[in-house]
Amino acid sequence: MFGGLQKFLKIPGREKILFAEALALHIWTGLLLKVLPFRKIPGLFRSRLSETTAKDEDQSGYAVPGQQFMIIEKIRVAIQRAGKVSPWRNRCLVSSLVAKRMLNRRNIASLLSLGVSKDGRGRVVAHAWLKSGDYELVPKDGDYTVLYTF
């Protein structure tokens, strides 16, 4: 318990604020996923910004400008930290939605993808990942068939 508090106290001030935002959004998003039908979720997290390229993930890789890259990286770290203490099992989905919300608030375009694959035993495995340009905030980590993007 105190080890986590000591780590938190060592984080710079701005990063503490981003972590607190990410953690609050993790809790809020996880609760939304429990009470709302999933078909309503994309509408709540969709940005007014449109991706500058087609929603095909292979075509969405544009270079992120330097100033935005710094913000995106700090958000990625905050999401990662919050995910470690998040009570939800589906961390990739929750983290992707939280990152999308945080980027939307800062007018930074992103593309959230939902996909499926099969594991070594032939079972279907679902995954969510988030990119802003060519930068992955929540990594894809595997070969997934994309079912839906927003």
106-144 per-position pLDDT tens digit: 999 999 999 999 998 999 999 999 999 999 999 999 999
Q: How confident is the model at residue 90, as a pLDDT? A: 78
What is the model's pTM? 0.83
**Exposed e or buried b for every residue in 41-64, given b needs 16+ CB within 10 A?**
beeebebeeebeeeeebeebeeeb
Range of the domain at 40: 2-149
The number of folded domains in the chain is: 1
